[in-house]
Each structure stands twice: as structure tokens, then as C-alpha cells.
Amino acid sequence: MDALVLSTARLHGFVVVTAAGEMDLIGKPLLYGCVQAALRAHHDGLLVIDLSAVSFMDAQGLSALVMSRRYAIQHQRGLALAGASTAVRRLLQITALSGSFPLMAWPKAQNSDDAGVPGMVR
């Protein structure tokens, strides 16, 4: 069992919440609280939740994403997901939420000046 570890940073004009570990019942309030704090601390920029290090997500983790999206909308902010695994994308698809979350590519930093700058997948 991998406890959910969260961090927040500004990157290329985005507010990035990075999640690592399991997004489940225990992680749900942690992610939602982190998103709330990030949006309060940073008053501009798209909020991106980086899921590339998430090892597991269940319905509670998905609920945390939905709650976070609602909170962002209430505060007139955009929210996108980055680094979503095939399993997470499938979970979004089978729950009819795939259209609710813009997905972003989140390439690993390379040797160019603009490496690591995310781009929209859709």
C-alpha cells in the first residue's frame, strides 16, 4: 500500500499538484485539501493534477478528482489532468467522465529550452 504523497508547484504558468501513490478513501481528503490550498495560494493559471506517479485509483480517488473539478469551477479556474495512465483513462471513460477532464501530455524534461512544457492531448 503506497500512501498518497502530494506536492504543489508553479511550472510554466500552471499550478501543478503532483500526486504519487494510491488515490483511495484515505487519499481523497488529502487531494481535495491540496487542490483547495493550491487554488487559494495561486490566483491565476490552469490547475494541473499530475497523475503520472499514481499507482492505484478507485472510486474514491475518482470522487476526489470530481470534487476538485467542482471546486475549481466554483472559483472560475480550469483544471486538467496530466500523466493519466491507461487505467485512469479507462476509469474516466467507463464512468462517462472522460469529457469532464482535459488531458495533457506531460513529457519528461529533455535538453531543450521548452522541454517539459505540457501540451493538450485533446
Query: In the prediction, which pLDDT does 107 show?
Result: 53
Range of the domain at 92: 5-120
pTM attached to this predicted model:
0.86
Q: What is the CATH number of the domain that holds 111?
A: 3.30.750.24
Which of 102, 104, 50 is closest to 77 using CA atoms? Answer: 102
Query: In the prediction, which pLDDT does 2 show?
Result: 85
pLDDT truncated to tens, each residue of the chain (122 aa)? Answer: 689 999 999 988 899 999 999 999 999 999 999 999 999 999 898 999 999 999 999 999 999 999 999 999 999 999 999 999 999 999 999 999 999 999 998 754 333 333 344 554 44
- DSSP for 44-112? SS-EEEEEEEEEEE-HHHHHHHHHHHHHHHHTT--EEEES--HHHHHHHHHTT-GGGS-EEE-PPP-SS
**CA–CA distance, 35 with 64 (Å, rounded to integer):** 10
**CA–CA distance, 79 with 45 (Å, rounded to integer):** 9
Tally of domains in the chain? 1
Query: In the prediction, which pLDDT does 1 show?
Result: 66
Cell digits of residue 23:
488515490
